[in-house]
Amino acid sequence: MSFLQSLLYPKIKVSDNKLEDALSKKTVLISGASFGIGRLLAEKIAFPNTKVIILGRTEEQLKEVCQIINDRGGSARYFVGDLRDKKTTKDFLDLIKNENISVDIFVNNAGKSIRRSVYESVDRFHDFTRTMDLNYYAPVELVLSLLPGLSEKKGQIINISSIIVLLPSIPLWSAYQASKGAFHIWFKSIKPELNLKGVATNNIYLPLVNTRMIAPTKKFNKLPTMNPEHAMQIISNSIVKRNYNYKPWWTVIIKPLIFLFQKPFFKATIMNSK
Ligand SMILES: NC(=O)c1ccc[n+]([C@@H]2O[C@H](COP(=O)([O-])OP(=O)(O)OC[C@H]3O[C@@H](n4cnc5c(N)ncnc54)[C@H](OP(=O)(O)O)[C@@H]3O)[C@@H](O)[C@H]2O)c1
């Protein structure tokens, strides 16, 4: 890790014992755990008294994650499906109901980002429907269905979001920013009701994290991105503390800077779109 990375992302390490205690006799649902941050978290919580349910499209990877968890003495199962497809959520929720599975913690992690000029999107309306389906409608439907059980058990919902929803709107990110922003607003709106019922609600606003999500944009490799292991520790801390939300400390600095220098910043962003 570079000096700049350690400055931007001060070390956070959650004790394994505390995490195991917090998850004792709990069932955790993680959407998008075949790769990246969700996968690291799933493998981290391979504890004997914790049940892990993971969702994603890539069966081979999901199987592998379950195998790792089960080999470590944990208990895991997977469900394969594309969350942009209404049938996936329906089939998954039917399974939860039919098998009487009661989720204590839902980590809303599955997500897709798109970085594309609006002029390159004129024939790509599907970019907008797909990001809304995955980043907004699917988690809304999951939360609604899990809510009675989560309220009964005074559970927790952890939303893996992005700092992009806290910043002024940025060119090229419209599909991602609008869809993540939609869930952010919805979650903010339901939060007081959930908290009154004892359901903890947490937002983890991540900066660029070095996963396959940002791999297609080569120039991001040169930026001081967050390590996915660090993101996983942040989520673990939220599980242990229940009232821990995260945004990088420097969000408060770059927000007014972008606002003040929007014109040159936006121009540079657009000119460097490739
Ligand atoms: N990486 C970043 O820079 C960054 C920054 C801010 C916030 N985040 C957020 O962090 C979360 C995790 O991202 P990551 O960086 O770990 O990305 P990742 O490595 O690409 O992982 C994304 C996960 O979501 C699943 N997923 C994607 N599309 C899906 C679909 N249609 N149906 C079901 N599952 C789907 C993927 O599994 P399958 O492909 O097997 O379906 C994968 O397990 C996302 O919500 C993202 O928005 C990431």
Residue range 44-58: mean pLDDT, rounded: 98
Q: Which residue's CA lies nearest to atom 19 of ligand 1?
A: 36
Q: Is the pLDDT of residue 82 over 70?
A: yes
DSSP 121-157: -TT-HHHHHHHHIIIIIHHHHHHHHHHHHHHHTT-EE
Sole residue written with tokens 């709107």: 169
What are the boundaries of each domain within the chain? 3-271
Give the pLDDT confidence score for residue 1 in this predicted structure: 73
Instruction: Work out which ligand 1 atom sits closest to the CA atom of 220.
Output: 3
Q: State pTM to two decimals.
A: 0.97
Instruction: Check residues 46 and 2 and name the one with the higher pLDDT.
Output: 46
Residue nearest to atom 46 of ligand 1 (CA): 111
Q: Which of 81-90, 172-181, 244-253, 258-267 has the lowest mean pLDDT?
A: 258-267
In this predicted structure, what is the pLDDT of residue 92? Answer: 97
Establish whether 137 is a catalytic residue.
no
d(CA 181, CA 135) in angstroms, rounded, equals 9
Correct CATH for 3-271 of 2.30.29.30, 3.40.50.720, 3.30.110.30, 3.40.1190.20: 3.40.50.720
108-124 confidence digits (pLDDT tens): 999 999 999 999 999 99
Residue 73 CB: number of other CB atoms within 10 A?
Answer: 10
Overall average pLDDT of the 41-57 stretch: 98
CA distance 19 to 96: 25
Output the pLDDT for position 272: 80
Give the mutation target among 8, 9, 35, 208 for probing the ligand 1 site: most ligand atoms within 8 A of CB. 35
Q: Which residue minimizes the CA distance to atom 23 of ligand 1?
A: 32
Residue 162, pLDDT above cutoff 90: yes
Q: Read off the pLDDT of residues 190-211 as tens digits, 9 standing for 90 and up.
A: 999 999 999 999 999 999 999 9
Question: For residue 177, is pLDDT > 80?
Answer: yes
Pairwise CA distance, residues 158 & 133, whole Å: 19
Q: Which residues line ligand 1 (CB under 6 A)?
A: 32-38, 56-58, 61, 82-84, 109-113, 134, 160, 162, 206, 208-209, 211-214
pLDDT at 274 over 70: no
Comparing CA positions, the residue from 170, 42, 162, 190 lying closest to residue 105 is 42
3-state secondary structure of 64: helix
Which of these is catalytic: 9, 78, 136, 176? 176
Q: What is the mean pLDDT of residues 30-40?
A: 98
Q: b/e for 9-47, b at 16 or more Cβ within 10 A? A: beeeebeeeebbebbeebbbbbbbbbbbbbbbbbbbbbb
**Closest Cα to atom 17 of ligand 1:** 213
Give me ligand 1 centre to Cα 109, in Å. 6
Averaged confidence pLDDT in the chain: 96
